[in-house]
A and B are shown apart, each in its own frame.
Chain A
């Protein structure tokens, strides 16, 4: 009887210092998969590793796999077992699906609804399936997980709206300018906030980034981090004329750009919009500048308000997302349960085949009198009869996706045909399996 387990830890059960110690990403997922395979942990394995979680998915023959995976975690990362055990959680069978689907949908993420996790789950699965470590069960499990993740993404607003100030600013910029790749960005200031925003904007492949700071050296230090041009502080006004996005994050005690400064810059640039992101406290740009035509001025409070709204909206979508995950998990559970019937199907077919062979054996003296052609015909016809007799029952049994019904059928068939109990047949997997390697 195959069992499905997920063993791992996440930001919910382990602090970041501990998660760092069990990060599979460092040595590569492939190495971890190979080690698990060498230890004969199970028939199918997948390792999921992100900065917030490390999990091993296993299809094995018994509960022993849990112990094996636990000691693998300890040995592989060189962490004492008694230290790691309190952080580990274990999910079994249908619960594994519920857990993985929640993970894939971003419901279990540190920032609920964050979009990267689905890609990370895909990477984990691809690594395992490329190495032929997955089989029928995990293939099915992960494909349904992708579907669940996609459904949550497209049918709920869970992933919508930026939930950090930098992303909120970028999302706004995209809503104003569309593509950011043709844009000029001017950054005033060289502190931590300036740096963070510069890195995020750089990641959007903006055309040009210019940095100005009152101390040129500080601007140059930042420019070394994010490829950018440095201009002197007294050139800010002319740089502003070229800019599409202005980020101000200086430590100046009062405003450094008045409404007139902004209005003057706008005059020379026709109607091209200017998006001003003032994340400095106290503010760098006169709030009145927001009334200049084609100027969009957002300060740190405005952006934080957007983030708060988005977070509230996301949590309102949680219930719908949970319902989707539950319905997808139920599909997997039904499928998993229906697989329990497969040993019975195999046993039934073997039983019929055994009877056929026994009868042919019994009749061998008489059959031997026939010409070889006719003997072959008899063999063929009897085989055909058995196949035909079994065709409909096999199909019907495989179509059952209700656990108790499957058990009833199994029981009845076992009695009617005195079948050996499951597990004794030695083969309990779907004969139609695709690629599968038994590690």
Chain B
């Protein structure tokens, strides 16, 4: 059961790849259907885990990754259906499959330690995950922008040129995704800070480790600075196009680093 979403995401990735290569709208619709099916199965799985654990399955890195994939899939599906643009699907689903391996290998639902029994915890985690999902979309958009920008500058109009929407559309969608992500990241960080202050007298050693010196928190704050700069640069100094695209790509790489390696190995405050 827990493998079904991953398998459907993988099938969707294959179909999106086929759609990207051959540009057959029927394959594209099939890919969307597979992705929607995967998300439905994933929703069901998360629902089951919620019933089983008695709380939302957000404790521990693999559960967080699973929730992140789910949010990213939903966010992408929303963008695809509203913008009627499928060419990003291949990049997003590859990300879903790559990250989906983590919760598939480590499916146990961790029980919630007393430290996390606060409504602030759920809001914090969901905001952070939604911000990361937005940054993932922005990263994909930025990455494809750079790919196509290079093709046009090199005067070699090839594979991506024929398949991607215009640079302007990529840039505009990137800008929106970054703003949405930044808003949620801000909420997530602020809530996290409030909650950390509330629990600072808790005997849990992890509560003691909640400080800016902890790698996970430090990198999250760095992300916030980076994306704040991107939002500011776009509005105030007109940074758009290639530079914004690079920023979004780099930003998302940092997000991923913070999410997986830092989350697993380095942090002492967030190792639930």
Query: Which residues of A approach B to under 8 Å, CB–CB?
Result: 154-155, 157, 160-161, 172, 174-179, 270-273, 290, 293-294, 296, 298, 302, 305-306, 309
Contact = CB atoms under 8 A, between A and B. Distances in A.
A161 B155 CA distance: 14
B24 A177 contact: no
A305 to B, nearest CB: 7
Q: Which of A178, A293, A296 has the most CB of B within 10 A?
A: A178
B161 interface: yes
A176 B166 contact: yes
B155 A273 contact: no
Interface stretch (B4-12, B235-243, B247-255): B235-243
B25 interface: yes
Given A270-B238, A271-B240, A273-B241, A178 B165 contact: yes
B168 interface: yes
A178 B166 contact: yes
A110 to B, nearest CB: 24
Q: Which of A160, A272, A273 has the most CB of B within 10 A?
A: A273
B205 to A, nearest CB: 48
Interface of B: 24-25, 148, 152-153, 155, 157, 161-162, 165-169, 237-243
A296 B153 CA distance: 6
Contact of B167 (A270, A273, A298, A306): A273
Contacts of B155: 298, 302, 305-306
A175 B242 contact: no
A175 B157 CA distance: 10
A175 B167 contact: yes
A306 B242 contact: no
B157 A271 contact: no
Contacts of B240: 270-272
Nearest to B155: A302
A306 to B, nearest CB: 6
A327 to B, nearest CB: 16
Contacts of B162: 157, 160-161
Classify the secondary structure of B's interface with A. Answer: helix
Contact of B243 (A155, A179, A271): A271
A296 B25 contact: no
Nearest to A162: B157
A305 B156 CA distance: 9
B152 A271 contact: no
Contact of A271 (B161, B169, B241): B241
Nearest to A305: B155
A365 B9 CA distance: 81
Contacts of A176: 152, 166-168
Contacts of A270: 237-240
B157 to A, nearest CB: 6
B18 to A, nearest CB: 13
Contact of B168 (A161, A178, A290): A178
Contacts of B237: 270
A271 B168 contact: no
B220 to A, nearest CB: 28
B59 to A, nearest CB: 43
Given A172-B157, A294-B242, A306-B157, 4 more contacts: A175-B167, A178-B166, A273-B241, A309-B157
B166 A175 contact: yes
Contacts of B243: 271
Contacts of B25: 154
23 contacts: A154-B25, A155-B24, A160-B162, A161-B162, A174-B166, A175-B166, A178-B165, A178-B167, A178-B169, A270-B239, A270-B240, A271-B238, A271-B240, A272-B240, A290-B153, A294-B241, A294-B242, A298-B155, A302-B155, A305-B155, A306-B155, A306-B157, A309-B157
A177 B152 contact: no
Contacts of B169: 178
A272 B157 CA distance: 21
A157 B155 CA distance: 20
A172 B149 CA distance: 11
Contacts of A305: 155
Contacts of A306: 155, 157
